[in-house]
Amino acid sequence: MSTDPQLPHGQDLDHQGHGVLIIEDDFHIAEIHRAFIERSEGFQVVGMARSGAEARSLLADHGEAIDLVLLDAYLPDVEGLELLWLLRRDHLHIDVVMVTAAREVETISEALRGGVFDYLIKPAEASRMAQMLARFRRERAALAARGEMSQEQLDRVLARVQPEAVADGARRQLPKGIDRLTLRAVMAALEAAPKPLAAMQVAKAMGASRSTARRYLEFLVSVQVVGAELGYGDVGRPERRYRLVGDATPWCEER
């Protein structure tokens, strides 16, 4: 087994999107994560480490280019949680997501105390990984766009306060003209986009009419899952653009 840290082939480390470091001793799993991230808009793999020593070397050389670390709890030369606390101490700009087979509550609790952005249990589903990346991109963009926030804005960015429908099952009933399958398609279009989208852009992504996309987008605005802002189109006309601000799971799940 090579002990040299792995850099993406041909990668000059110019920061094209959020830089990701994968710390995973299983080569095949690391490659799956790398391929998924490289297909995700707004992210690039800065490097892959198969041990704590390799991770420290990459962090020392390329730490400023790294925004997100995918960290396994089980490494051949160090506990993943030890690396988590090192990251929290020496690399405060980096967010950490545990991607591990560790299911023990003690491990999960310590990771949460260490401020992990998310915790994914192997085998991590592609949809769950995509959800995490979309939330990371959304939160980073929202925090970078403002000098300060109100409590309401912060709650929406962090999705800490959900619509009342989460607590009240009856409120999850979709109104007439809104179905879950189309709603999921709208959400998928928004989650895949690196910036707010106009209704026409959502319509093209999901293969529907602009009026259909607009109807679903406005419903999501009404339940505080999507935020709307005024932008300008190609011809300079003002148009509403939509971005995710909350979790649509209660509305998209089958009852």
Q: What is the model's pLDDT at position 120?
A: 92
Q: What is the model's pLDDT at position 230?
A: 78
| 133 & 94 share domain | yes
83 assigned to some structural domain: yes
Q: What is the model's pLDDT at position 58?
A: 94
Q: What is the model's pLDDT at position 135?
A: 85
Q: What is the model's pLDDT at position 213?
A: 93
Task: Give the integer Cα–Cα distance in Å for 21 and 25.
Answer: 13
12 assigned to some structural domain: no
144 assigned to some structural domain: no
* Count: domains in the chain: 2
166 assigned to some structural domain: yes
| 42 & 132 share domain | yes
| 127 & 28 share domain | yes
Measured CA to CA in angstroms, residue 190 lies from 132, 134, 230, 246 at distances of 14, 9, 16, 12
- Provide the residue range defining the domain that includes 183: 150-252
| 173 & 246 share domain | yes
| 104 & 169 share domain | no
Strand, coil or helix: 207:
coil
Task: Give the integer Cα–Cα distance in Å for 189 and 117.
Answer: 23
174 assigned to some structural domain: yes
Long-range contacts of 220-223 (CB under 8 A, 24+ apart): 220/183, 220/186, 220/187, 220/248, 220/251, 223/163, 223/165, 223/251
| 131 & 190 share domain | no
4 assigned to some structural domain: no
Q: What is the model's pLDDT at position 234?
A: 59
| 47 & 125 share domain | yes
| 115 & 192 share domain | no
In this structure, what are the phi and psi dihedrals at residue 21, rounded to the nearest 5 degrees?
Answer: -110, 125
131 assigned to some structural domain: yes
Q: What is the model's pLDDT at position 173?
A: 76
CATH of residue 211's domain is: 1.10.10.10
Q: What is the model's pLDDT at position 232?
A: 64
| 176 & 243 share domain | yes
Q: End of a domain among 138, 159, 193?
A: 138
**pLDDT per residue of the chain (255 residues) written in tens, 0 to 9:** 444 556 554 344 555 689 999 999 999 999 999 999 988 888 999 999 999 999 999 999 998 999 999 999 999 999 999 999 999 999 999 999 999 998 899 999 999 999 999 999 888 888 888 888 888 988 888 887 777 877 777 776 776 544 443 444 444 678 888 988 899 999 999 988 888 899 999 999 999 999 999 999 999 988 878 888 877 665 556 788 898 887 777 777 765
| 233 & 164 share domain | yes
Q: What is the model's pLDDT at position 5?
A: 57
| 131 & 180 share domain | no
CATH of residue 79's domain is: 3.40.50.2300
| 167 & 82 share domain | no
Residue 245 has which token pair?
Answer: 């601000």
Q: What is the pLDDT of residues 81-138, one digit of tens each?
A: 999 999 999 999 999 999 999 889 999 999 999 999 999 988 888 888 888 888 898 8
Q: What is the model's pLDDT at position 68?
A: 96
Q: End of a domain among 117, 138, 159?
A: 138
228 assigned to some structural domain: yes
Residue 105 has which token pair?
Answer: 């509550």
Task: Give the integer Cα–Cα distance in Å for 62 and 4.
Answer: 14
Q: End of a domain among 89, 114, 138?
A: 138
